[in-house]
Structures are given as C-alpha cells and as structure tokens.
Amino acid sequence: MRLLAFVVLVPLLCASRPAEAVEPLDTFSVRVGGYATNFDTRVRADGDTFDGTTVDLHRDLGLEKDKTIGFIALTWRPFNRHELGLSYYNDDASAEHRLTRDIEFKDSLYTASSTVRAHFDLDAYELNYTYWAWARERWALGPRVGLIWYQMALSLELDLSIDGNTVGDRRREEVDTDLPAPAIGAGWRWTPGEDWRLSADVGYFTANINDIDADVTYARAGAEWFPWENWGFWADYTTRRIKADADTNSFTGSLRFTDSGVRLGVSYRF
C-alpha cells in the first residue's frame, strides 16, 4: 500500500507544468516501482563425494514462486550517443516444508517425509551500456552490453525427522555464490506520441566466467507515459533465463533460473 501511494502521489505533488514532447532518449532518468516476479529456480548442490539432487525450490521446498518486491533503476547519458544504466532489487523467501522425496544437498541426505526449513536470498545488480548508433527525432536504436550480477544464498535445515520428532542436532547445509550473467544485444526506443515512449531490449550470451559455464537470455519490452514534463509512469515485462554449471570454491553444481515478471512504477526524467 505504501508503494502504491508513492507511485500515485509523488508525480501529482511534484509536477508543475504539462508535458512537452518526449524524446526517445533522456539525459538522466530514475525509475522506482514494484516488480511482480516469478522465479522458477532449480538447483543442484554437489558434495565432496556425490552429486546432489536437482531441487525445484517451489515444488520440493515450498518456497514462494510469485512475489512483489521493490525495484529501482537509473540511466545517465553523459554523451550524445552513450548511455549507462544501473538497477537493483532484492528478494528473499523462507518456508517450512515436508519433503515428498529424498534430497541429497551438498553432503547431507534429507529423506522423504522429513520436514526441512529452507531460506533463499537474492540480490540482483544490473549494469548496462548502450551505444545509440542510430538516433533520430522519434526513435533510437543501438547495440547494448549488459551484466546482471546475482548474489544468491540457499540454506536447508532439517527440522523434523521422518517420524515427526524434533531433531536434536539439527543438520544444516548452505550454498552462497555470485553468478555473473552478461548479455550482448540491442536497445530500441520510439516515441509514437508526444507523451508516450515505447522501448525494448534483448540480449544473449554464452561463456565460461570464473569457473561458471552459463547461457544467458534476456528480453524486456515496456511503455512510458509522461502527463507532465519530468514525471510519468512506466510499465514493462522482463525475462531472464540462465543455465549455469559451476565448479567454484563456494558452489559446485548447477542452476536453472528464470526471473520474469511485470514491473511498474513512477519515473523522473530530464
């Protein structure tokens, strides 16, 4: 409710004059809003001796798939054709769940019918650069390079044994890793009307970085409406799909991760 009130009231309080024609590119912008996420995540955490079980965080551990979280993004165009972008959001979820199958997680076996407590925490930082090679009066197009840096932590703790008794010496395992997800593609902006702007970004990358072999696909499409000169509203849909195999000091295993959803909020630009 507080976020909704902020999104609705801030432009009304701060706007001082009607909008002028919106250009395809801003010199500076900041966007704040909510992100209705859908995380579809599968993790395999290997131990020193055996490979782990591929675990679906929602189906196997009961962690929430859908959630609304806060989101902030900035763009800055210091030169005519060069634009930098930065964004951040955080998501965390906890659940207590009765297992329906045996799960090998790192060096521990969690048997079916036992109850485990799981916690997942994610910080996502995105930095991107776009060179607007073709910049016209009503549209702009150019190559884009982006890097999303995920900091992920997943812990699994045995709460109750198969027969429902409390575990005296609680068993707990945790993985904590950084996952760089670069993408190379293109950005597009178009102003079909004086106070409307449409945008889209796409990217793909496959590489081995820091002992993490990953395939990354990224896409975003959105619209902005500026009823005032500097203040307006925005909405977009974004999706990122990551397939990664890691052999690092902090995490050995695999990750299949889809981060997608609708984002909307208020924006300030000049």
- CATH number for the domain spanning 97: value is 2.40.128.90
Identify the helix (H) or strand (E) that includes residue 7.
helix 2-14
User: What average pLDDT does the segment 19-29 reach?
Assistant: 88
| Token pair belonging to 167 | 């575990």
Residue 125 has pLDDT above 60, yes or no: yes
Quick one: average pLDDT of 213-225?
A: 96
Tell me whether residue 53 is in a domain.
yes
Contact between residue 206 and residue 218 where contact means Cβ atoms under 8 Å apart: no
Written as six digits, the tokens of 196 are 């409307």
Number of structural domains (the chain) is: 1
Largest Cα–Cα distance in the chain? 70
pLDDT of residue 153: 94
Residue 135 has a CB neighbour count (10 Å cut-off) of 15
The H or E element spanning position 151 is: strand 139-160
Q: Is the pLDDT of residue 50 over 90?
A: no
How high is the pLDDT of residue 75?
Answer: 98
Percent over 70 (pLDDT), the chain: 89
The Cα 85–Cα 131 span in angstroms is 12
Task: Write out the E strands in the chain.
Answer: 28-45, 55-56, 66-79, 82-98, 103-105, 108-110, 115-131, 134-135, 139-160, 172-193, 196-209, 212-225, 231-247, 252-269
Residue 133 lies in a domain: yes
Q: Which two tokens stand for residue 92?
A: 């965390």
Map tokens 């966007």 to a residue. 31
Given pLDDT bands bounded at 50, 70 and 90, which one contains residue 159?
A: confident
pLDDT digits (tens, 9 = 90+) for 54-107: 999 999 999 998 999 999 999 999 999 999 999 999 999 999 999 999 999 998
What is the CA angle 175-180-182, rounded to 5? Answer: 155
Tokens of 255: 């990750």
Residue 100 CA to chain centroid, in angstroms? 29
Instruction: Report yes or no on 24 lying in a domain.
Output: no
Residues 145-157: what's their mean pLDDT? 93
Domain that holds residue 247: 2-16+38-269
Cβ neighbours for 103, distance < 8 A, ≥ 6 positions apart: 53, 55, 60, 109, 110, 116, 156
Instruction: Check whether 209 has a pLDDT greater than 80.
Output: no
Distance CA 113, CA 86 (A): 44
Residue 25 covered by a domain? no
Residue 169 has a pLDDT of 58
Short-list 89, 116, 80, CA closest to 100: 116
